Amino acid sequence: MISYALPGVGLSSVDDTGRVMGTAESWRVACDSMLAECSVAGISLADALLLLHASPGDDIEDASLRVGSCPECGAYAPGAEAIGFVGRHGGGCRSCGAVLLLADHLGVDDLLATYGRENALNLVMDFTERLALVATIESVRRRGLDVLAETAIVVDGPLSALWTSERMVRPILAYLDDVSTELERAGLGPLLLVGVEKTGQDVEHAAVVSELIEPGHVMKLPTDYIGTHVTGRTGRPGVYGKDNFYGRRFFYRRRDGHILVVTVPARAGVAPWSTNAVSEQWNSYPSLATTLGLLEELRSDRFEGAIQPLVWAHQESSLALSASQALARLSQDQLGIEQNTRLRIKGAWS
């Protein structure tokens, strides 16, 4: 589990010289420190980010990441241009010479001002989860391709990212391509990676069409259908999913009748969402059948459509109900708020 405290609006920290930094600078430095200090299975988030931008087979020490704007002088480079590049040990702005941090590649410096504290935290959590996923896959990969081929990774939510395609989605797609190619060349099975959704418009739509899917069968929605009947984005330019997804979405009705909305990666060389017809071919998703069979075996009765690994993850990361209640009531006492809650603890969950 990754746990890290980031400064919010109105909070500042001091640098190594004792200088008090502003809120935006404190946030930026803290995000960069989080990348360096937080790790998953022995791989730091910083290393995972560098890994995404290193060429296959190259040392991540040689990775160089584009920075589009300088947090010091405000210099901005449009499109694919850069005001500088950063690696493990930072870099410099071509305009003013200011020190650039690895986190500057992600543009964290203006998150607070642009999106506000809550949305900024959501975006940081989003890229943290993507980097944690890459670190997880890489840690298993380093133990041996045979181990990776026999490992299934279940993600809570879709295989997608809120960040721009250039900063997160395209690098993840390239990384998954590299992993899939390596597994294929070794004569091993595909990477078993799946995202399982519990809420959202796609889950709602899946519930509507679930009766059209026989138990034990899966539905693949064409891109044009999604634009017309799910997202309502008919006529808008671009292809659904191409900028945010590194897997394709499917509706699967389990044998017990419960519907699952899942995303799985495409085979090497195939973009899961594109204008190319190969994106919608069943054989572009070699892990799908095995993954769905696995989800049948991993089902839980904890709640409708529950998957056991996600149940375990929620139990591990959530505060116990009694602890949550105690914290809430402590806050009520300190703020002088009358305790009128009706929540009562009646023993362990069944």
Q: What is the mean pLDDT of residues 96-111?
A: 89
Quick check: 274 and 118 in contact, CB under 8 A? no
How far apart, in whole angstroms, are the C-alpha atoms of residue 86 and residue 50?
A: 10
> Is the pLDDT higher at 340 or at 135?
135
Q: Which residues contact 194 (CB under 8 A, 6 or more apart)?
A: 152, 153, 154, 155, 159, 247, 262, 263, 264, 287, 291, 295
Point out the least confidently predicted range of 131-145, 181-195, 238-252, 268-282: 238-252
Question: In the structure, what pLDDT confidence band is assigned to residue 349 with cuts at 50, 70 and 90?
Answer: very low
Using the predicted structure, report yes or no on whether residue 350 has a pLDDT greater than 50.
no
Q: Within 13 Å and on the Cβ side, how many CA atoms surround 329?
A: 12
| Percent of the chain predicted with pLDDT > 90 | 47
Q: What is the mean pLDDT of residues 97-115?
A: 86
Q: What is the mean pLDDT of residues 130-152?
A: 94
- Nearest Cα neighbor of 106 from 89, 127, 91, 125 is 127
> Is the pLDDT higher at 324 or at 67?
67
Using the predicted structure, report yes or no on whether residue 232 has a pLDDT greater than 70.
no
Using the predicted structure, report yes or no on whether residue 9 has a pLDDT greater than 70.
no
Q: Strand 99-100's sheet: what is its strand order?
A: 65-67, 84-87, 90-92, 99-100
Model pLDDT for residues 155-202, shown as the tens digit of each residue: 989 999 986 667 899 999 999 999 999 999 999 999 999 999 988 888
End-to-end Cα distance, the chain: 25
> Is the pLDDT higher at 54 or at 48?
48
Retrieve residue 284's tokens: 């572009």
Q: What is the mean pLDDT of residues 297-316?
A: 64
**How much is the pLDDT for 329?**
65
Instruction: List helix spans (H) across the chain.
Output: 23-37, 45-53, 111-143, 145-149, 170-185, 201-209, 223-225, 288-297, 308-317, 321-335
Q: What is the mean pLDDT of residues 270-274?
A: 90
Give CA angle at 312 (127, 7), nearest 5°.
Answer: 35
Q: What is the mean pLDDT of residues 55-61?
A: 79
Point out the least confidently predicted range of 11-20, 39-48, 122-131, 207-216: 11-20
Mean pLDDT across the chain: 83
Q: Which residues contact 79 (CB under 8 A, 6 or more apart)?
A: none
> Is the pLDDT higher at 193 or at 321?
193
Q: What is the mean pLDDT of residues 267-293?
A: 93
> Is the pLDDT higher at 212 or at 5?
212
**How much is the pLDDT for 322?**
54
Quick check: 53 and 63 in contact, CB under 8 A? yes
**How much is the pLDDT for 49?**
95
Quick check: 99 and 114 in contact, CB under 8 A? no
**How much is the pLDDT for 135?**
95
Question: In the structure, what pLDDT confidence band is assigned to residue 343 with cuts at 50, 70 and 90?
Answer: very low
